[in-house]
Amino acid sequence: MFKLINNRSKKLFEQAQKVIPGGVNSPVRAFKSVGGTPIFIKNALGAYLIDEDGNKYIDYISSWGPMIIGHAHPEIINAINEQSKKGTSYGIPTELETKMANLLVSLAPNIDKVRFVNSGTEACMSAVRLARGFTKRDKIIKFSGCYHGHADSFLIQAGSGASTFGVPNSPGITKSTASDTLLANYNNINQVKELFEKYPEKIAAIIIEPIAGNMGCVLPEKNFINQLRELCTQNGSLLIFDEVMTGFRLALGGAQEILGVKADIVTYGKVIGGGLPVGAFGGSKEIMNFLAPDGPVYQAGTLSGNPIAMSAGYAMLKYLKSTPAVYTSLNDKTAYLRAGLEESLSKSNLPYQINSIGSMISLHFTNHPVVNFETAKAGDNTHFKNYFHGMLSYGVYLPPSAFESYFLNDAISYQDLDHTIDSFGKIITKI
């Protein structure tokens, strides 16, 4: 354990609260669910974060996914630096956008064309609009606990019934918007079938995290995704995979490759920008040609295809394509971490479930399998708070929420993993 000094972080947080709502620009950063003062980061390199007080942490969030090969990787930084000398933004087409699109299309299954946007939220929002325009239908199905950004259609919670119209869970979202979003529980195919029966020829699309990362890491049960594919095909609806987290992280072909299921539209996030703000959505020519200027569905963005983001993303995807061993390395490291955590947990009296796939993993303090949002919420949050702060005191930075997946990066060494496992063994009796 090291003495965690966060005097400067505390001062910076106090200053930020005066000019930024909540002192943060994304709510999870505020440490509300774990308590304490958020840490302000000064810089990052490889597997490590260094905060404004000089504390060093092993990073298990990887900027919420995109830092697959670690922070400030030389190839990414070089690409950014070289492009920045040529200008940061044009708002005019560049050859780099086409090169990046060709590379992405060559790697991602079932995609003929791609449109670049500025974030995962924008990608998912645009994908749903495209699906509605293509099918000429209004309603979508989403799953409780799956997060697709903060567009109005997605900030919906379940009503009192098992499968029902959603109701807004944020002020500012109209009831009419919520009424077009239908809710089901992740891994419950019967609820999805009921929705198709109740609203025939009205459902434009199902949008889903094929492997969820926003209720912890939650895997689809056997045949669940295949059955969603069949239901969409049978009912003339589109299947949208939100691969903002899983795309290019779990495999070059993302969850589509891992699960062997083809989506109609796929969305991507920061990983295709090497961590810079960027997103994309893609699909078949038939669907994508419905976008303006070729088709009637409008979507635009002044900074879409930003040259710095494209240069960083191109460097990232080229690296992953040329170094497929990175996936084996990440999978092995995650399995090693999981085994170490399970060894300590098996000797304790704590209830626990560990979910993992590839380089995504999460620990839940519950005796019951975590298969959806309801079972994720059953975990003991007091245990999680103690776990989070205990690991922080040993220089291990975990997601400050029980409902987030951890993301390993390949810069993490086995020495780092051993330190994480040893630290966990020391704090487990205090959880």
pLDDT digits (tens, 9 = 90+) for 16-48: 999 999 999 998 999 998 999 999 999 999 999
Per residue in 198-249, pLDDT tens?
Answer: 999 999 999 999 999 999 999 999 999 999 999 999 999 999 999 999 999 9
Quick one: pLDDT at residue 298?
Answer: 96
Distance CA 416, CA 334 (A): 12
Q: Does 359 have pLDDT greater than 80?
A: yes
Quick one: pLDDT at residue 183?
Answer: 93
pLDDT (mean) for 167-195 = 88
CATH class of 74-322: alpha beta
Going from N- to C-terminal start, the domains of the chain cover 7-69+331-342+381-414, 74-322
Q: What are phi and psi of 416, to 5 degrees?
A: -65, -45
Cα-based angle 70, 72, 77 (whole degrees, multiple of 5): 130
Quick one: pLDDT at residue 166?
Answer: 54
For residue 318, give the nearest of 75, 82, 73 by alpha carbon: 75
Q: Does 160 have pLDDT greater than 80?
A: no
Helix axes 307-322, 95-107, angle to 10 degrees: 30
Quick one: pLDDT at residue 157?
Answer: 66
Q: Report residue 163's pLDDT band, with 50, 70 and 90 as the boundaries.
A: very low
Catalytically active residues, by annotation: 147, 242, 270
Q: Which letter does DSSP use for residue 194 in this model? A: H
Q: Could you confirm whether domain 7-69+331-342+381-414 is CATH 3.90.1150.10?
A: yes
Distance CA 135, CA 202 (A): 9
Sole residue written with tokens 């690296």: 319
pLDDT (mean) for 97-109 = 97
Quick one: pLDDT at residue 158?
Answer: 47
Could you tell me the end-to-end alpha-carbon distance of the chain, in angstroms, rounded to an integer?
15
Quick one: pLDDT at residue 367?
Answer: 96
354 contacts: CB under 8 Å, gap ≥ 6:
338, 341, 342, 345, 361, 362, 363, 364
Quick one: pLDDT at residue 197?
Answer: 98
Q: Which of 146-155, 182-191, 286-295 has the lowest mean pLDDT?
A: 146-155
Quick one: pLDDT at residue 257?
Answer: 97
- Give 207's strand partners: 240
Share of the chain above pLDDT 70, in %: 97
Quick one: pLDDT at residue 220?
Answer: 98
27 contacts: CB under 8 Å, gap ≥ 6:
none
